[in-house]
Amino acid sequence: GTLSVAVVGTGKMGADHVRRIQRVISGARVTAVVDLDEERAEALAATMDGCRAYTEPVAAMAAPDVDAVLIASPGPAHEAALLEALDRDLPVLCEKPLTPDAASALRVLEAERRLGHRRIQVGFMRRYDAEYAELKRLLDGGELGRALMLHHRHRNPSMPPWFTNEMLINDSVVHEMDVTRWLLGEEITAVTVLKPAPSTYAPEGMDDPQLVLFETESGALVDVEIFGHCGYGYQVRAEAVCERGTVRIGDEGGPRVSADGRWGGRVTPDYLERFADAYDRQVQAWVDATRRGEVTGPSVWDGYAAAAVCEAGVSAQREGRRVEVEMIERPAFYA
């Protein structure tokens, strides 16, 4: 039957997932919304038939009409909600980051292993973007030879006021950590962070932009420009440099308008629009798999691996030196 979902966190991302489940995808409906801000949860719940508001994830997960959980609260709140869901053996789609550090991600990994089956999908939605999927297909196809380097550009028009230097790594560059591991099929082994003289528009205490370098097991080199306050729009681009060719994705498509002696087009304003199709496909895939009793997509292992790279990234950022990634060996459970 229809999957009844509790959405935990009703901020920008949570509210967008509610809209998606109710109006865009099929096979699921929202029966619970959870937010510390009671009024916000109540107001959202009131827009949906048969949906109740809660202030605690535990209470929503205990409700008889909740079969699955979508976690979209801030990263530091994820661990408690994930452990609770695993305790109740509930399927979960958890927004990135899985948790903000490697030790807490490892606790979630161990809890899922104790449960004995996978229950959690991590919201690394770029894997569901058509262009990233095409890039992966081209790399896997082998005609271009081995990937030698990846260049990533990740630009936001601005960041919310609570965003910190560390969050540029943990909440933004974490996406490049995941797509790099996924595209190349190997782990990241070391991280270096370089900082140019900051933009005048960088908020107090934030070095913006930054250049993050990854080294990988096979010796590939990956650079990421993370720019939190570029001002003009939201842009995510990637280029793979291979032995026999290069592939570039994320260039703006049409329409290209010529008028008033200029030509040009539009830059998407934010990630909700730029990755709308990827979010839709991701949540539909989660609902479909859950209804079949399966778990697909990025796993807790992927969430943990990214958290381990983040931890190295935050040290590299703080200490201004190359930091090696420390992580456990991949358990057979996540093979």
Which residues of the chain form contacts with ligand ISE (CB under 6 A)? 156, 171-172, 175, 271
Residues in the chain: 335
Q: Report the nearest approach of ligand ISE to the CB of residue 142 (Å).
A: 30
Q: Report the nearest approach of ligand ISE to the CB of residue 105 (Å).
A: 17
Helix, strand or coil for residue 110? helix
The 3-class secondary structure across 244-286, one letter per residue, is: CEEEEECCCCCCCEEECCEEECCCCCCHHHHCHHHHHHHHHHH
Query: What is d(CA 318, CA 327) in angstroms, rounded to the nearest whole number?
Result: 20
If the CB atoms of residues 10 and 156 are measured against ligand ISE, the closer one turns out to be: 156
Q: Report the nearest approach of ligand ISE to the CB of residue 172 (Å).
A: 3
Q: Report the nearest approach of ligand ISE to the CB of residue 47 (Å).
A: 24
If the CB atoms of residues 20 and 175 are measured against ligand ISE, the closer one turns out to be: 175
Neighbours of 151 (CB within 10 A): 16
Helix, strand or coil for residue 148? strand
Residue 224 pairs in a beta bridge with: 152, 212
Query: What is d(CA 178, CA 176) in angstroms, rounded to the nearest whole number?
Result: 5
Nearest residue to ligand ISE on Cβ basis = 172
Q: Report the nearest approach of ligand ISE to the CB of residue 209 (Å).
A: 12
If the CB atoms of residues 4 and 156 are measured against ligand ISE, the closer one turns out to be: 156
Q: Report the nearest approach of ligand ISE to the CB of residue 156 (Å).
A: 5
If the CB atoms of residues 54 and 132 are measured against ligand ISE, the closer one turns out to be: 132
If the CB atoms of residues 171 and 302 are measured against ligand ISE, the closer one turns out to be: 171
Q: Report the nearest approach of ligand ISE to the CB of residue 257 (Å).
A: 26
Residue located via tokens 């629009």 = 273
If the CB atoms of residues 171 and 207 are measured against ligand ISE, the closer one turns out to be: 171
Residue 157, class by beta-carbon neighbours within 10 Å (0-12 exposed, 13-18 middle, 19+ buried)?
Answer: middle
The dihedral formed by the CA atoms of 65, 119, 98 and 283, expressed in degrees to the nearest 10: -60
Q: What is the DSSP string of 55-100?
A: S-HHHHHHSTT--EEEE-S-GGGHHHHHHHHHHTT--EEEESPSSS
If the CB atoms of residues 271 and 286 are measured against ligand ISE, the closer one turns out to be: 271
Query: What is d(CA 247, CA 131) in angstroms, rounded to the nearest whole number?
Result: 10
